[in-house]
Structure 1
Amino acid sequence: MKKTKVAVIKTSPERVLDDYIRLAKLAGMKEAMDGSATTILKDNISWHLPMPGANSTPWQLEGAVLALKEEGFGEIVAVENKTVVTRPKYGEKQNKYDIIYEKYGITILYNFEPENMSWVEYTPKSKLRILPKIYPEGLRLPDYFFGKNIVQLPTMKCHIYTTTTGAMKNAFGGLLNVKRHYTHSWIHETLVDLLKIQKEIHSGLFAFMDGTTAGNGPGPRTVIPVKTDYILASEDQVAIDAVAA
């Protein structure tokens, strides 16, 4: 088996974008994904207001874009989701993502807009632990995600249901519909199931985690910001979450 690698850098505002490019090289991003496939950027809007530690940071997003371009990846597309408590299009502007998308010509798609993608029934190849019980009528996934790389962009923070949250939990918003909060009673089993599904449908997985300001306390929204200045990256979502914890 290939040895898991998690890259960690102590960064500063003056060099954070360069550090994200270096982080990608240290973590082996180029080898982790298919360079000929479209790459989805999956940001993390825990709250549509710009609360430090709660959401993907603009420098995390821009650093990921620069790292992908540096390594020769082609089409980059952002996909956003909504929840029962967030407004993604408002959050996109409040957190300054729209400026970066415009700067680099990145298309923004929404998994809840029928004109952007459809939700299709999917039968997993792996045996799942809990999702078939939560969705007895059948598991549906956004068709756009199939055959594409995905880069998760979580922050390093606590979560009232999962204790800590990161790359594994970030798949939650993209792959499950707006009723996904019903899975919180079995959240750990759900995250295992989602990781199995990601490995089946994506051409490559990678994660950049921003911990420049970490979120302590009752996350993911009402966090207590803590300055830590760490950024992390890995193709292994379990390992990066473990290191962050």
Structure 2
Amino acid sequence: MSSSVSALITNPHNIIKDYDNLLEIGKISDHISPDSETLIKLNLSWSLYYPACSTEPWQLDGVASALRSRGYHNLTATENRTVVTKIEKGVVGNKWSPVLQKYNIPFIPLTDVEWKPYQIHAETPALDEIFEGTHTLPSFFVGKNMIHLPTVKTHGHTTMTGAMKNAFGGLITERRHHCHRLIHEVLVDLLKIQKEIHQGIFAIMDGAVCGNGPGPRTMIPYEGNILLASHDQVAIDSISAKIMGFDPMQIPFIRMAHDEGLGCGDPDQIEILGDDISNLNFRFFTGKSPVVAGDQLFRKGKLSFLEPLVFKTSLFMLAVFGSAFYHDYLWYNLVGRRRIHSFSKTPWGRLFDQY
């Protein structure tokens, strides 16, 4: 199957209709059967709301509306926690609750489901090394369709984050922070697993508001006014990276997935359906927050010899506290709230306030 990415330029007035058109152009029914149970994997990068950080409410609204109108009756939304995020708080803070209620879509936290060992047929060397060959997955994932709802944003660990990274929060428990040392290799392993356990995979990425700089949290909001969708997880990440101003084939997880035949990472080989986005270049940069920089210092930097002590003993709780204090109390109050106030005056900010 050839690789294509659907793209539409959007605005706050037409966003719901544009999502419907996006899925029509992307022929989602050819890749995700309406007759099968379909999971919607949300993206929760922060329990608090911050523009482009997590799945936007209009993104969930537009996708849910488009799916319901196409006969997708068996839908379930899901997301996991991390050591520094709380699912219940995130569902409320990011205004997912009213949208899920509007379309009568149940939400199942991955903390409430059974995780079972799964025998993976593909070679997953990075995961094998990190978890010593024992792989547990949410049992209710197996055999179902998967739709990912990431946003267009940068990431201090992976340059950018998108469809492939969204599986990171679904297929690994809150212990997934141990994967940061081999993060690019892990994302490739996870795509292999997805191709084994899901009937179909589709990604719908919101770039109405994007995140630039030290992602995935402490970013600079940017009005990108772009929507992307694809059945090829590698291709949509490639096009998103290109729009942000990066060379996709220089991003390790995209290049490795492309080389292993898991999708197309070369933007010159990807067909763009919908609007012409060939001239888009947001000229983003990837920065590193003190938390990300510290994580990398102890996992694969000059202090990596301390990794077992810092991350595998009770001292890790100090790192968790430090991350929560820096993000939720220090940065959010000193910098984030000011940026959110400015964002609230934009058309997208006013749309968020309506939910």
What do the CA deviations read for 1:10-46 (whole angstroms, capped 9, x no partner)? 1001100010011011112110112221111111111
Q: How far apart are the structure 2 equivalents of 1:161 and 1:136?
A: 23
One-letter amino acid of the structure 2 residue matched with residue 39 of structure 1: T
CA RMSD of aligned residues (A): 0.9
Offset at residue 165 of structure 1 (A): 0.2
Matched, 1:94 2:90: no
| 1:3 aligned partner | 2
Matches within 5 A, 1:95-244: 95-113=94-112, 117-136=113-132, 138-244=134-240
- Separation of aligned partners in 2, 1:129 and 1:191: 11
| Cross-structure match for 1:68 | 67
2:28 maps to 1:32: no
Task: Give 3-state SS (helix, strand or coil) of 1:179's partner.
Answer: helix
DSSP-derived class of the 1:77 partner: strand
Offset of 1:5 from its aligned partner? 1.1
Structure 2 Cα separation of the partners of residues 70 and 237 of structure 1 = 24
Give the match for residue 291 of structure 2.
none
Contact in 2 for aligned 1:39/1:77 (Cα 8 Å): yes
Asked if the contact 2:127–2:133 (Cα under 8 Å) also holds between the matched residues in 1, the reply is no
Amino acid at match of 2:126: I
The worse-fitting range, judged by mean Cα deviation, of 131-140 and 158-167 is: 131-140
- TM-score w.r.t. length of structure 2: 0.67
User: How many residue pairs are counted as aligned between the two chains?
Assistant: 241
Residue of structure 2 in register with 1:84 after alignment: 83
Structure 2 CA distance, aligned partners of 1:74 and 1:200? 24
What CA distance in whole angstroms lies between the structure 2 residues aligned with 1:37 and 1:109? 17
Q: Deviations over 1:138-182 (max 9, x none)?
A: 110000101111110000000000100000000000110110011
Q: Residues 187-228 of structure 1, C-alpha deviation per residue, up to 9 Å, x if partnerless?
A: 111010000000100111001100111100010011111111
CA contact (8 A) 1:76 1:106 kept: yes
Q: Which has the larger radius of gyration?
A: 2
- 1:129 Cα shift? 2.8
Partners in 2 of 1:94 and 1:175 — Cα distance? 23
- The aligned counterpart of 1:42 is 41
Higher relative contact order (CA 8 A, sep 6+): 1
Question: Which amino acid in the other structure matches residue 89 of structure 1?
Answer: E
User: In the alignment, residue 73 of structure 2 is paired with which amino acid?
Assistant: G
Q: Give distance in 2, aligned partners of 1:76 and 1:232.
A: 21
- Runs of 5+ in structure 1 lacking a partner? none
Amino acid of the structure 2 residue aligned with 1:42: K
Q: Is the 8 A contact 1:37 1:147 kept in 2?
A: no
- Could you tell me which amino acid in structure 1 is paired with residue 39 of structure 2? I
2:168/2:190 contact within 8 Å kept = yes
Alpha-carbon deviation of 1:70? 2.2
Percentage identity across paired residues of the two chains:
44
One-letter amino acid of the counterpart of residue 232, structure 1: L
Q: State the distance in 2 between where 1:137 and 1:188 align.
A: 18
Deviation at 1:241, TM superposition (A): 0.4
Structure 1 or 2: more helix by fraction: 2
After TM superposition, what 4+ stretches of structure 1 lie above 2 angstroms from structure 2?
none
Instruction: Tell whether the 8 Å contact from 1:28 to 1:234 is kept in structure 2 after alignment.
Output: no
TM-score by length of 1: 0.96
Amino acid at match of 2:79: E
d(CA) in 1 for partners of 2:106, 2:174: 22
Counterpart of 1:76 in structure 2: which amino acid?
A: L
